[in-house]
Structure 1
Amino acid sequence: MATLREPVKVFIVQSLACFETPQQVADAVKQEFKIEIERQQVASYDPTKPTGKNLSKKLKDLFHKTRAEFKTNVFSIPLANKAVRLNELQKIYDDPKMNRILKLKLIRQFKDEMQGYELQLLDIQLKQLEIERIKTGDGEGADDPTPVKVTIQVVDASRSDAEYQPDTECASGKVSTTSK
């Protein structure tokens, strides 16, 4: 096994945290740092695997932090953005070397990308209207000023003679100012 410097270790840990395979990481290390390492050595830098159980706390923390950021920050990946995907498809479509069959496939892919887009816009508009209706107090969403009385009755269920007794005051709708 090759002895690795700290920047290489950090590169390996962050790559594995972004769900790259050990072979992909080994190839990337060879290309980036001109160091040839085996995929088994790369796998030892993954704390989620048995081979990575002896990884330093610093590298484990880096792995988990990087993985959490990677999972939550999907929008930093350009292809996760629909506009970027459509733009790339448009560039391919505009290529003069593109034949009709491939253009037809691209049109279908465009259609698939756009499916549901109108529904998303409609949902956004409906939500905005609902928020506006609640703010202005119009219709069913308006606040109801009718007071409501809530009574909680505690019964000792451990007693053998305990049983449910409805509160006649609540049933009648009368409000009492006296306390028991």
Structure 2
Amino acid sequence: MARERLTPDQQTYVVQALACFDSPSTVAAAVKKDFGLVVSPQSMEAYDPTKRSGAKLAKKWRALFHETRKAFLEDTSAIGISHRAVRLRALQRMADKAESQGNMVLASSLLEQAAKETGGSYTNRREVGGLGGGPVQHEVRSLSDFYGGKGE
């Protein structure tokens, strides 16, 4: 198979996909699908400066890679599944399909997952409070309280 040289636009596509943590195999498949070019995963890896085969990557592509990766890591809002509403809609579609197919065990599991999602089970936020949501009550005691007033 003859190896085709990538155009600058195709190279940009490859560098950005790798910067967004797509594997070289995934990128090779995407290049085949989107551009009709058959490329090897190994040749795609050469566009990743964090890999040994990408050590000699041109400064232009290296800069693009690092800029893209930084933006990708800082902006999760572009990733649909990071939003609760998107996850709930997907769970709704799955639950509807499971129920229509008579898979009540799966439907029940999906409903439970949706309840956890809306109840905040999948967040890192934790609230600590006392009885009735008030402040936590605490009592300061001295050592003498523990030893019956003997001071030891």
TM over 0.5: yes
TM-score w.r.t. length of structure 1: 0.62
Task: Select 1:32's aligned residue among 28, 31, 34.
Answer: 34
> 1:91: how far off?
2.0
The structure, 1 or 2, with the larger RCO (C-alpha pairs under 8 Å, 6+ apart) is: 2
- Per the alignment, do residues 48 and 89 of structure 1 end up closer, same or farther by CA in structure 2, a change over 3 Å counting? same
Aligned ranges for residues 14-25 of structure 1 at < 5 Å? 14-25=16-27
Distance 1:121 1:43 in 2: 39
Describe the superposition over 1:36-70 as per-residue Cα deviations: whole angstroms up to 9, x where unpaired: 00111000000111111111111111100110011
Counterpart AA for 2:118 = M
SS at match of 2:38: coil
SS at match of 1:42: helix
Describe the superposition over 1:71-102 as per-residue Cα deviations: whole angstroms up to 9, x where unpaired: 01111111100111011111222232352111
Instruction: Structure 2: state its 5+ residue gaps.
Output: 128-152
Counterpart residue number, 1:166: none
Larger Rg: 1
Question: What number of residue pairs does the alignment pair up?
Answer: 122
Counterpart AA for 1:97 = Q
SS at match of 1:37: coil
- Per the alignment, do residues 54 and 112 of structure 1 end up closer, same or farther by CA in structure 2, a change over 3 Å counting? same
Which has the higher mean CA deviation after the structures are superposed, 103-112 or 78-87?
103-112
8 Å contact 1:22–1:42 — kept in the other structure? Answer: yes
> 1:19: how far off?
0.2
TM-score w.r.t. length of structure 2: 0.73
Counterpart residue number, 1:86: 88
Are 1:99 and 2:97 matched, yes or no? no
- State the superposition RMSD in angstroms: 2.2
Aligned ranges for residues 1-180 of structure 1 at < 5 Å? 1-95=3-97, 96-116=100-120
- Percent pairwise identity: 36
Instruction: Structure 1: state its 5+ residue gaps.
Output: 124-180
